[in-house]
Amino acid sequence: MCRSIKTLRPPVLPGEATDEDIRAAALQYVRKVSGFRAPAAHNRAVFDSAVDEIARATQTLLDGLEVRGGGSGTAKEPARGAAEKTG
């Protein structure tokens, strides 16, 4: 795994991952997989599209994860994205 990608879920991350955190992780992943730090102009659209798709998939993953053993004894609060979708 790319060393620049950080774990984005509690308790590793002190709070919820921000959109910036998620996008940065997606960008690092695409850079690693593609082998390009910055794509050439003719690859920019597909590179940016991949970052967007991975960021969405990451948000979906984080919204759906249930972290057990937090020690608080309370139910998990809905993730930021889940609350926005239902409201």
pLDDT tens digits, 57-74? 999 999 998 888 764 433
Q: What is the pLDDT of residue 79?
A: 52
Ranges in the chain, pLDDT < 70 = 1-3, 70-87
Please give the model's pTM, rounded to 2 decimal places: 0.71
Distance CA 24, CA 1 (A): 15
Query: How large is the angle between the packed helices 44-64 and 19-34, nearest 10 degrees?
Result: 130
At 87 the pLDDT is 47
